[in-house]
Amino acid sequence: MKYLSFSFILLLLGLTSCVRDGSDPCLGVTLNLHVEKFRNPSSTDPMFDTEENFHDRIDYLQYYLYDETGTLIRQQAVSNFSGHEKGSFPLVFDDLTGGKYTIVLIGNSSDNSLEGDDHELNNLSVYYKGYGQTKDYSSRVYTVKNDYDLEQVFEVGMFRMHGVVRYSFKNVPSYVSAIEIEMDRLSNRKWIASEYEGNSSVFAKYD
C-alpha cells in the first residue's frame, strides 16, 4: 500500500527623508507587521493566529501610501529584512503631517502578479497565474490617523490571499501509478481593496 499527501495553494472563491523601513523607532507612525497562518480559525482577524516570524513568509513587501483624498503620495518596495528576521517587521513613517492615511501592503508580489494603476487604490489587484506558478501572497489595507505630536505604534496583520486545499489518500493500491486532480470555478483575481473574482481551473498530476 502507498500513502500520498499533497497540497494545492490557490486563490479562493479565496520625500523628504525619513521613511525608515525596519529602522530604529522614532516619533511618527510605526506599523509592526505580522502575517496570518493558513489555519487561522478567524476569517476576519489576521492577528488571531499569526506566523512567529514575518520574514519566514514574506521576502518582498510593497506598500502604497495614500492621503485622505485618495492621492498616492508614496510607494516603495522592501526586500532587505536584515536585522528583522525574527518576529514582526516594523514599517516606520516619521515624516507624515497630521491627517488620515491609507496604507496598502502587499507581500510577495515581486513576480509581476500585481496589476492595475497604483494611483487609484481600487484598481490594484493580484492575478493568479496558475498552480505551480504563484507565490504566497498576503495583503492588507490599513487606515491610520496621524497625530504627529505622538509616537503611534500599531500591530497590523496581513491577510493570506490564498487558501489551501489538502488531499490525502491512504491505502492506495500498489497498481495505482498516478493520481490526477482537477478543480473548477476558482477565482483567479483578488482586488486589493475588495473581493475575489474571475473563473479558472487547476489541474495537477502526481505520480
Q: Encode pLDDT of 7-61 as tens digits.
A: 444 444 333 334 444 544 445 899 999 999 888 878 788 899 999 999 988 999 9
pLDDT at residue 6 greater than cutoff 60: no
Residue 105: how many other CB atoms lie within 10 Å: 22
Q: What is the pLDDT of residue 116?
A: 87
Q: What is the pLDDT of residue 20?
A: 46
Give 134-150 pLDDT, tens digit per residue. 778 899 999 998 876 67
Average pLDDT for residues 84-99, to the nearest whole number? 88
Strands (E), the chain: 2-10, 19-21, 29-35, 61-67, 72-78, 89-93, 99-107, 114-115, 125-127, 138-146, 152-160, 163-172, 179-186, 189-191, 196-197, 200-206
Q: What is the pLDDT of residue 12?
A: 42
pLDDT at residue 78 greater than cutoff 80: yes
Half-sphere exposure of 46 (CA within 13 A, CB side): 21
Q: What is the pLDDT of residue 3?
A: 45
Q: What is the pLDDT of residue 58?
A: 92
- Read off φ and ψ for residue 7, nearest 5 degrees: -135, 150
Give 155-168 pLDDT, tens digit per residue. 999 998 876 677 78
pLDDT at residue 83 greater than cutoff 90: no
Q: What is the pLDDT of residue 25?
A: 44
Give 111-128 pLDDT, tens digit per residue. 778 888 888 888 898 888
* Partners of 127 in the β-ladder: 189
Predicted TM-score (pTM) of the model is 0.77
Q: What is the pLDDT of residue 132?
A: 67
Higher pLDDT, 67 or 83: 67
Q: What is the pLDDT of residue 163?
A: 66
